[in-house]
Structure formats: structure tokens, C-alpha cells
Amino acid sequence: MFAHVEPFAGDPILALVEVFNADDRPHKVNLSIGIYFDEQGHIPVMRSVQQAEARVVAKGGPKPYLPIEGAANFRSAVQRLLFGAGHRVLRDRRVATIQSVGSSGGLKVGADFIKRWFPQAEVWVSDPTWDNHRSMFEGAGIQVNNYPYYDADGGGVRFADMLEALQRIPKGSVVLLHACCHNPTGVDLSRTQWDQLIPLLKERALLPYLDLAYQGFGDGIDEDAYAVRALADAGASFFVANSFSKSMSVYGERCGALSVVCPDARQAEHVLGQMKFTVRRNYSSPPIHGGQIVAHVLDDADLRPMWEAELAAMRERILVMRKALHGVISAKVPGRNFDYFLTQRGMFSYTGLSALQVDRLREQYAVYLVRSGRICVAGLNSGNVERTAQAMAEVLAA
Ligand code: LMR
């Protein structure tokens, strides 16, 4: 019956985690997946999240199905987090938000929506982008193309080329943009660049689709929402998929949302309705538990500042690791500029290491990174950064 079913080649990120887990070398270092590890190399349990969960559990009660669109308190807390409480788009009820199964779930619901309501539209993603973006949109039956983004020589953004490409793509195309902490490069658009890009998106009737999976890991919770708010301020219609996996360290709870900013309340209502239809046909409705933890953290007067401080500490620890890696590797490989480790934002750095060098790092040094050369800086700690930098230096010198 299943003889024709082909083997799965494995996911470029998740398959590495399986190999890492099976590696019995005690000094192994996991810089592959986008997960924040603490100084001890553990996935932190945030105090704010733990307390919110204790309250959710203490409250108890039955577990009915949630509405298709998710829990009302979660959805409104997400909207306030993204746009800022009282933003005009919220007052005007122009935002359709669903609670999704991680932001991946949100991205996919949005992709299905696009395929249904913009059947001719193609999606344009940055070159490079998160490995799963292409696969997700292609999985929804949408043609995926690249726009220029990362400047491998200078380590910045090929902004002029990006604008030029977006001038030429068909009107009505969907443009996937990383709101902050670009995955995989760590190279973000500056505010000035967003301010130049947004009028072009509007003028060409392009449909921005923001992925905001790392809010709080760049410059701050509000700072990292700059693109979301600037698009909303400009009166644009757009999608934004956001995640709490990293910012609340609740990966396996699959907490995310998809919001669509619409021109008016009536369109928002219709869009919400069609997203509900998509969800119903896929998994019916989201789970309760994680979303309630998130809503408690966001809404509670004590837990909210506690969470913000914990997230700030994570962000700062990543910066410390960036500096440490930069310091050690610069000393070991003189004459080469590693300043990009300092200027990139969020969990990721694009190292410029080739796939073969990445393989050597894994095989000889038990240092795991994605074959694109992306490292998750949040996997570094003061116990492994020196050794990792040494290994990278040796591989670069070979
Ligand atoms: C990553 O890029 O490593 C994370 O977003 C985790 C994932 O699902 O790929």
C-alpha cells in the first residue's frame, strides 16, 4: 500500500537536534535550533510563566473546546502587545486575530487564506530566510520567490537591491518580512529602512506578511514591534504571525497568533470568519493551556513586569555571549573582521562558514550549527564559548 511513499529527507533544523541528542560526547554544543538556553545550558523556566501556570492550574475547571479563533483574553492581549494598547487599528476593530498553534500554525493558516483569496499571488521571501518559510507556503500551493536581502560581503542588508526587486514584482504579491531578529542572518532592517520600505509596499499594493517570532530578543518588546506599528500607522493592510515560544520559553505549548490588519471593521470580520473556516478544516480549534498562561503573563500587573525583566535578562545575556565570541575569535583569527557578531540582533548569527566547515565542526568538535552557517548564539554560555570560538577558528584556518 505504501511502497510508493518516499522517505523524508529530514528537516534541516529539527533533524540536527535529533543527531545532537544522540551524540554522547559530553562537551557537545548545540547552536543549531532557535531555542534560548541559559548559562547552565538549560531551557529556562521563567518565573513569571511558572507563576502564571500555577494560577491557571489552581483555577482548574472544565476544558471545553475553545472557540475556533481561540480564547478572547489571549487574542486581545496579543493585539495590545503587538500594536500597543489603544492603537487606532484596535479602536477601529480593524484587526482580525486568531490564536494559533505556534506562529508556524499562524503562518500556515495565513498561507491557506492567501491561496484561497489571492489565488494568483506569489510569495516573496528574503534571501535567505527561515528554512521552513518556503516549505510552508509551497505546501499551501503558493509559488515562492526570493528578494535580495543579505549582503554576504558587507554583512548588512542589500537594501537598494531589495527595493529595486520589490519595485518589479507583480502588484498584489505577498512579501514576507522578518519584523525583527532576522532568521537566519541576525541582520535587521533599520527604522530608516522600514520607513523607506513601507511607502513602497503601499504604493505597489504589495501585501506584507510579517513574521515576529523573536519579539523582545532584539532591542526590546516595544522596539521589536516597530515594523508592526509603523505599518499600522501607515494605514497598510498586512499579516503578522507572532510567537511566544521563545519570549516566554514555552516552545512545546505551541502558543502563537495570526493577526490581519484590514482596511475596515467589516473586512476584518470577514477575514476572521474565513480564517476560522481554515482552522476548522485543519485542527478545529487551538488548545487551552498555553494560551491561558500567556494571557495571564501579559495581563497581570505583577507578572507582566516580571516577564519583561526576565526577557530583558535573556536578551542581555545573548549580547554578552556575542561580545565573548567576538573577543575570543577575533584574537584567534587576526586580520579577519568579526564585527557582525556584535551588530547582528536576536538569537542568530550568520557566520559565513560553509556547509563543509559546519560538518567539520560537528564531526570533529561536536559543535552543532545549521548547514547554512547559522549559529544560535543563545546556545553559548561562559562554559562553552571559548571552546566553540577555538573550534570555529581552527575550522576557518584549515
Ligand atoms: C529555528 O529557526 O531554529 C526555530 O525557529 C525553530 C524551528 O522551528 O525551526
Nearest Cα residue to 260 out of 281, 232, 288: 232
For residue 358, how far is its CA from the centre of ligand 1 (angstroms)? 18
pLDDT of residue 203: 97
Nearest Cα residue to 166 out of 130, 214, 198: 198
Residue with cell 548569527: 349
User: Would you state the torsion angle of the CA atoms of residues 321, 35, 79, 236, taken in this order, to the nearest 10 degrees?
Assistant: 80
User: In this structure, are residues 179 and 211 in contact, taking their beta carbons and an 8 Å threshold?
Assistant: yes
Q: Which three cell numbers stand for residue 230?
A: 509603523
Is 246 a residue of the active site? yes
**How far is it, in rounded angstroms, from Cα 240 to Cα 147?**
19
* Residue 13, ligand 1, Cβ within 6 A: yes
Nearest Cα residue to 382 out of 109, 100, 39, 104: 39
pLDDT digits (tens, 9 = 90+) for 95-126: 999 999 999 999 999 999 999 999 999 999 99
For residue 13, how far is its CA from the centre of ligand 1 (angstroms)? 7
**How far is it, in rounded angstroms, from Cα 332 to Cα 326?**
10
Residue with cell 494571557: 295
Atom of ligand 1 nearest to the CA of 376: 3
- From first to last of the 398 residues of the chain, give the pLDDT tens digit: 999 999 998 898 999 999 999 999 999 999 999 999 999 999 999 999 999 999 999 999 999 999 999 999 999 999 999 999 999 999 999 999 999 999 999 999 999 999 999 999 999 999 999 989 999 999 999 999 999 999 998 889 999 999 999 999 999 999 999 999 999 999 999 999 999 999 999 999 999 999 999 999 999 999 999 999 999 999 999 999 999 999 999 999 999 999 999 999 999 999 999 999 999 999 999 999 999 999 999 999 999 999 999 999 999 999 999 999 999 999 999 888 999 999 999 999 999 899 999 999 999 999 999 999 999 999 999 999 999 999 999 999 88
Residue with cell 491561558: 292
pLDDT digits (tens, 9 = 90+) for 296-312: 999 999 999 999 999 99
User: In this structure, are residues 110 and 103 in contact, taking their beta carbons and an 8 Å threshold?
Assistant: no
Work out the burial of residue 181: count CB atoms within 10 Å of its CB; fewer than 13 is exposed, 13-18 middle, 19 or more buried.
buried
User: In this structure, are residues 66 and 230 in contact, taking their beta carbons and an 8 Å threshold?
Assistant: no
